[in-house]
Amino acid sequence: MDKKILYLDSETKYCNYYSEIVMYLKKYSNLKHVICRNNSSQVYEEIKLFNPDLLLLGFSITDTGGKCPKFELNNIEIPIYIILNKEYDAIEKKLEWIKTIKPAKVFTVHHKEILYETITNIPFIKIMWSANELIFKRYNDIYKYDLFFSGVIRDEQNNNIRNKIYDNLHVINDYKILIKVAFFKNNKLTGKLNTFNLNEYALNINLSKIALTTTGPADLVGTRYFEIMASNKALIMCNRMSQDIYQDIVIDKFNCIMFDDENDFIKKFIYYINNEQERIQIVQNAYKYFLEKHTWRHKVKHLLNNL
């Protein structure tokens, strides 16, 4: 793509998958990444210096902690595009703000893009995450754990399914389980989830036969699905959701194993730990499927084609 893109963020520190999309956008387009904390004069100056074809507002602009985004843009003569973030948080305020910005399009990882488009009368395009293949990969043939369970536990995660599984892990005490979770209660995070850096996290997926992942708040499909696929080592076990939510990302018994509740999870976990060939076949399917459809190259080119 030969269009010049000015990509704006309001923060310098954010999740690795936000920075990954910037990294791959730079790889496949002429993109300048600028940190701008709601300073319109800085935006105008950057436009003057870079002379971009379009303006793309990044993830941190709508990462607002329950508040309406405050980023203001007036009299911008080039097309504006927005990447919506954290659709489970103050979505009504964000949609109202989007209507004031009047972008050409909005990108979202949420499955309700048609609803958002109807509310705002602005085109919404569904995009999706991926995984950094330099970090999430097959490191070796060694397994140390039967189950890897990591992440934030929140009540709003599909009827509190992660917490229910966590409370039932005593049933499989005889297996080797690596647990690293933090609990989100009363708007506070408790636990030491950040003990894992990104490389340690990727290695622990690689060392595990099965990795648990579930949809997040508002049924968002997170990066872990892709990170497990990219490992070519661990089997994805995830909560069963409709095709509207999972779309073409995971397919039961092809590239993942879906469970209905915490009891079904335990039952299927025991089965696939004791049926190695079936587990390996699904792992291999998932890795091949990831390479064919779900790398960052696929995701970023889809986004660029809609600019």
State the CATH number of the domain containing residue 60: 3.40.50
- Verify that 112 and 170 share a domain, yes or no: no
Q: Is the pLDDT at 136 greater than 80, yes or no?
A: yes
Q: Is the pLDDT at 17 greater than 90, yes or no?
A: no
- Verify that 123 and 152 share a domain, yes or no: no
- Verify that 180 and 221 share a domain, yes or no: yes
Confidence class of residue 194 from pLDDT cuts 50, 70 and 90? Answer: low
pLDDT for the residue numbered 291:
98
pTM of the model: 0.93
- Looking at the chain, the number of H-run helices and the number of E-run strands are 11, 12
- Verify that 150 and 123 share a domain, yes or no: no
pLDDT for the residue numbered 73:
86
What is the domain extent for residue 63?
4-127
Point out the domain boundary residue: 95, 127, 159: 127
Alpha-helical segments (H) within the chain: 16-28, 40-50, 91-101, 113-120, 161-167, 198-206, 224-231, 243-246, 262-273, 276-293, 296-305
136 within a domain of the structure (yes/no): no
